Structure 1
Amino acid sequence: MSYDYRQIAQQILDSIGGPENIEQAAHCITRLRIALKDEGKIKHEQLKVVDLVKGQFSNGGVFQIVIGSGDVDRVYAQLIDLAGRNAATVADVKGSGENKLNPIQRLVKIFSDVFMPILPAIIVAGLLMGVNNLFGAKDMFIPGKSLLDAYPGLSGLWQLINMMANTSFVFLPALVGWSAAKRFGGSEVLGIVLGLLLVHPDLLNAWNYGKAAAGLDGQAIPYFDIFGLFKIERVGYQGQILPILAAAWVMSQVEIWLKVRVPNAIQLLVVPITTIVISGVLALAVIGPVARGLGVLITQGLVQVFEVVPVLGAAIFGALYAPLVITGMHHMFIAVDLQLITSHGGTFIWPIIALSNIAQGSAALAMFCIAKSATEKSMASTSAISAFSGITEPAMFGVNLRFKYPFYAALIGSACASVLITSKHVLASAIGVGGLPAFISIVPVHIPVFLLGTLVAVIVPFTVTWLFAKRASWKGDAVLEG
């Protein structure tokens, strides 16, 4: 189907308050990202009926219009031409939007900006770890045995996959250090060095820290003795997020401060070494221990809630995760998941997240079966496939939120499925693809219960959406026409 992209761009422009209301505009793979002077001028209903517009929402001070891959490039080119604006990058638009955020929104945005670039590495590691777990799981394929027990020749392949899977988690501080330094305006290479410093082999492995602190197996915490004046724990921070996040921010501030004051002729000699020495000492002596303690408190708090009132905690989180995606706050849970995996051997949050995504896909699938318009059917089917693959934005913004009741149905289904798996203490050993393939990352003994939860996350939203639609049609509401 061919479209008049210039006319579509003009209609979008008219719906968002005209050229004078645009500060900057950019686009990503599927969305227009526009920093507006006044979002109160947006005519949402008018924008909904524009061709190619699959959804709209505001996040992080940036108004986003879901167009779709390929078409968004053409619409954007016409939009900036009609508006008389120069092309901008997503980073430029984000910068304009940041000025409008409150402190909590800024914190959420920092988590988003830091974790999005490294998410592919985390997901790949999670999937490989899931495959690895299947090799070693007893009773999964053969009664009383694992695949490794039955076929010892697989041990070499298992060891290779295990090494690949663990790499991203063992050196996670280096990945976060790179991304955080980039986000905070520091040197990315120094961010990597600082991250590697926190997992140096000469430091006590973070996973053995608990044993050493308790004096088990004759272990004791080693120290750096600085001139006999004070001691610094020689402890690593493998798999931990908060220590390197805070340390990278300090490092970036130190580097920026030095660059302004050190003459250009000696910057290369003075700035990097001074930055690493100062931030490295602070990271090991102050930032690391404090951040580790804070991470433990957050993790223990969540675990306590889910242990005391597991059904209530699961129902609330299962129902609220999708609304958190709308606000962008869901990125914060990546850090919590990784902390849970490190300290407790698995996370109970990520399985709930995966079921929430599946529930959104199921509601969109129901709309595909219900809708009469060919356009609505096409949008609902592609959005459902995307959600079942772990990407829910097209389903939420393009279908479920537009009709409202599919979104509510998905929340109900997600809550029901979350209660089921939490009551059986289902854990994920890693973060993987948050959709139908999610079972690969679940601890093998819990996979059957998780698959039952997946079934609930598919059936309940589909059924409730169907019932809502029938009720709406009985009342004469035109919700099925598209």
Structure 2
Amino acid sequence: MAKMQTVTILTPVNGDVIPLKVVKDPVFSAGMMGLGFGVQPSDGQIVAPVTGKITMIAETKHAFGFTTPDNNLEVLVHLGIDTVDLKGAPFTVNVKTGDEVQAGDVIATMDLSAIEAANRQTTVVLAVTNSSDKLDSLDVTEGTAQAGQVVASGRLNANTFNAKRQGKLPQAGKYDQLATDIIENVGGVENINSLIHCITRLRFYLKDESKANDDVIANMKGVIDVAKAGGQYQVVIGPAVTDVYDAVIKQIGPELSNDSETAKAVAETAAAANKPTTAWGKVKYGFSSLIGVITGSMIPVIGLLAASGILKGVLALLTTFHVVATTDSTYVIISAMGDSVFYFLPIFVGFTAGKKLGADPVIMGIIGGVLTYPTLITMASGKTLSTFMGMAINGSFFGLPVHMASYTYSIFPMIAGAWLASKLEPWLKRVIPTVLRMIFVPLFEVVIISGAIILFLGPIITVLSTGLANAIVAIYNLSPAISGLIIGGFYQVLVIFGLHWAVIPIVANDIATTGHSYLNAIVSATMVAQGGAVLAIALKSKLANIQELAWPATISAFAGVTEPAMYGINLKYGRAFVTASIGAAVGGFLTGLMRVNMWGFTGSLIGFTSFVNPKGLDFSFWGFWIASIATIIVSFTLTWMFGFKDEDVQAVKTAPKKRHLGQTA
């Protein structure tokens, strides 16, 4: 077996060689630009790290690109961190694009003192930008080294090695000249704030669009057209957009890239290719997209929710059979273990929704912390100062009356907040100078998003849920059976959007004033239905990852916590949520028809003792079991037959990854 060829790379400057992972630039340290290393320079003389052609010199002289002739390695040397803003002042270049150089040749000098005086880091970074295609590994020798000394060696992968032996190496740097021409005609590096791309277009954020030469760019070979939209200067490339983007970033520097916004733009334009044109199609598409965001935001915490649901069920059994009392410290400790993930759910959902929608996840987590701040939670349940449109006014903000809602257990406000942040954040980054972004982007984002949720979104949800609650009471008074059918079928939909919270006070008031609640009995049937549906999936699926989630979700749903079943399985695969809702409608109908009553809060199967009349066992207990068994049979059977198949899992996995390269959006 032939031995794979080893390539060697020199250090481009005197100094201390350091691992790439400790370089203080996330683009390089995370390996986004490829394998490599950093150097803390002791002087400013820069040499070529490899023998080859200079394929790129950044307009601001802070970066050089090399291509080796024997194996087409593409090597980037980046002088300093965030030095693009210095517009070339600290650098002197001795070569030009197209020159052939030998490893060790002096190519430039950098003024270290000038860079430090500008409050920039002098670290020189070397990255093999096509290492993912070319190299199996790159071993770096750390420590003090002289410019031109071999400090790294890499092993060519089998494809590159064999292609070289056969004389079939692919062309390197194919888009470098196009990238150079585009940069020059959008006004140069100094006119670029940042660059992202979608599936067909380079999307520049320019400081002054009037400096761009539209006609010249549109007529370049490799460019389809030029467009301007949403504050972006868009260069339409087509299927090769990612290659051209990489070539441009290599020249202007990774500090002008934005990976999260690029990923978001790619996802949006890929989805737009499937966007329907009919009114009903648009409604279905919008709802499907919303469900995708909701389930995607919840998936990372589903396991925790399932575990907490099971723990809450165990605690319910312990209190039901008087093993522990609600006043015991044991109860308080176990309750904290079971409730914490729900109490602080906005923090977790804020983080995951931020990642899903392209907002800063840490900032969104902090906003979730604002909504669950203990003083605000106390305000939400505190004294009512006045009422407005059925809302309790329980606070003020600079004299403005405020309805403070409780956001524990809620997810929709945080998802809406993450969507708003995904729109606000790029704008803030464009208008706030780079040196101020670290402080002022989080400051404005936390204030604006938190304020929008507390002052606007929360009250809107409260008004809607209060109206729904009044309608539910009216329907129940008209006909318990019909109300059971309607509430059973749609209650878990209300849970998704946080509109169910107005129902909880009605249940609490019923139990406080009469000692029982017919309405809570119907809600209990919806929990059983979610459990019956996910039980069918647990038994039917042959996929280990589905079974691993479905079984705990089943236990959790029957223990009264439906979030793992709903967000982790049923809602994610669509039809299963519908079949579960049909089962819930049947269970709700029977519960209302038989006038099943409930004397406690804990529902689902774990809460069977809540259906025991304290004055003596009556038909409510047996009615609960009849309705629950019927609910399980209907939801289980419909889900088994129509609600789920293993092929749905693969369909959900591949749907977000579709790329329609012919789309010119």
Provide TM-score, normalisation by structure 1: 0.52
Give, as a single letter, the amino acid of the residue that structure 2 aligns with 1:195. Answer: G
- Residue 191 of structure 1 deviates from its aligned partner by 0.8
Structure ranking higher on relative contact order (CA contacts 8 Å, 6+ apart): 1
Q: Deviations over 1:212-250 (max 9, x none)?
A: 547xxxx993434x3xxx335383533244544433333
The reply to whether residue 131 of structure 1 matches residue 314 of structure 2 is yes
Query: 3-state DSSP class of the match of 2:353?
Result: helix
Unpaired segments of 5 or more residues in structure 1? 1-88, 322-328, 369-375, 402-406, 432-437, 466-482
Query: 3-state DSSP class of the match of 2:376?
Result: coil
The reply to whether residue 439 of structure 1 matches residue 602 of structure 2 is no
- Equivalent position of 2:449 in the other structure: 279
Kindly indicate whether the alpha-carbon contact (under 8 Å) linking 1:126 and 1:165 is maintained by their aligned counterparts in 2. yes
Kindly indicate whether the alpha-carbon contact (under 8 Å) linking 1:112 and 1:332 is maintained by their aligned counterparts in 2. no
Distance 1:109 1:463 in 2: 25
Out of 153, 177, 182, which is 2:355 matched to? 182
Distance 1:274 1:395 in 2: 37
Out of 177, 191, 202, which is 2:375 matched to? 202
Q: Computing the radius of gyration over CA atoms, which structure comes out larger, 1 or 2?
A: 2
Matched residues, number: 326
Distance 2:309 2:377 in 1: 25
Q: Deviations over 1:125-154 (max 9, x none)?
A: 4333333333334xxx4xxxx4446xx9x9
Matches within 5 A, 1:98-247: 100-101=274-275, 102=282, 103-137=286-320, 141=321, 146-148=322-324, 155-203=328-376, 205=378, 208-209=381-382, 211=384, 213=386, 221-224=394-397, 226=398, 230-233=399-402, 235=404, 237-239=406-408, 240-247=410-417
Q: Deviations over 1:97-121 (max 9, x none)?
A: 4653523333333333333434444
Distance 1:173 1:297, change over 3 A: farther
Out of 305, 324, 335, which is 2:498 matched to? 335
Distance 1:252 1:446, change over 3 A: farther
Give, as a single letter, the amino acid of the residue that structure 2 aligns with 1:277. Answer: V
Give, as a single letter, the amino acid of the residue that structure 2 aligns with 1:455. Answer: I
Aligned-residue CA RMSD (Å): 5.1
Q: Deviations over 1:68-111 (max 9, x none)?
A: xxxxxxxxxxxxxxxxxxxxx9x988974465352333333333
Q: Deviations over 1:231-288 (max 9, x none)?
A: 3538353324454443333333222211233233332122111211222333333333
Kindly indicate whether the alpha-carbon contact (under 8 Å) linking 1:356 and 1:411 is maintained by their aligned counterparts in 2. yes
Kindly indicate whether the alpha-carbon contact (under 8 Å) linking 2:476 and 2:483 is maintained by their aligned counterparts in 1. yes
Kindly indicate whether the alpha-carbon contact (under 8 Å) linking 2:405 and 2:459 is maintained by their aligned counterparts in 1. no
Out of 524, 549, 554, which is 1:351 matched to? 524
Distance 2:570 2:455 in 1: 47
Kindly indicate whether the alpha-carbon contact (under 8 Å) linking 1:341 and 1:429 is maintained by their aligned counterparts in 2. no
Query: 3-state DSSP class of the match of 1:117?
Result: helix
- Residue 317 of structure 1 deviates from its aligned partner by 6.2
- Equivalent position of 1:254 in the other structure: 424
Distance 1:268 1:463 in 2: 55
Kindly indicate whether the alpha-carbon contact (under 8 Å) linking 2:490 and 2:581 is maintained by their aligned counterparts in 1. yes
More helix, by proportion = 1
Kindly indicate whether the alpha-carbon contact (under 8 Å) linking 2:481 and 2:591 is maintained by their aligned counterparts in 1. no
Give, as a single letter, the amino acid of the residue that structure 2 aligns with 1:196. Answer: G
Distance 1:242 1:364 in 2: 26
Distance 1:377 1:114, change over 3 A: closer
Query: 3-state DSSP class of the match of 1:223?
Result: strand
Q: Deviations over 1:276-324 (max 9, x none)?
A: 1222333333333333323333444445444543312433565789xxx
Query: 3-state DSSP class of the match of 2:406?
Result: coil
Q: Deviations over 1:21-60 (max 9, x none)?
A: xxxxxxxxxxxxxxxxxxxxxxxxxxxxxxxxxxxxxxxx
- Residue 416 of structure 1 deviates from its aligned partner by 4.1
Identical pairs, percent:
20
Query: 3-state DSSP class of the match of 2:372?
Result: coil
Query: 3-state DSSP class of the match of 2:374?
Result: coil
- Residue 155 of structure 1 deviates from its aligned partner by 1.9
Query: 3-state DSSP class of the match of 1:131?
Result: helix
Kindly indicate whether the alpha-carbon contact (under 8 Å) linking 2:599 and 2:611 is maintained by their aligned counterparts in 1. yes
Distance 1:317 1:236, change over 3 A: closer
Give, as a single letter, the amino acid of the residue that structure 1 aligns with 2:372. Answer: V
Kindly indicate whether the alpha-carbon contact (under 8 Å) linking 1:206 and 1:238 is maintained by their aligned counterparts in 2. no
Give, as a single letter, the amino acid of the residue that structure 2 aligns with 1:292. Answer: T
Matches within 5 A, 1:62-73: none
- Residue 189 of structure 1 deviates from its aligned partner by 1.0
Give, as a single letter, the amino acid of the residue that structure 1 aligns with 2:336. Answer: M
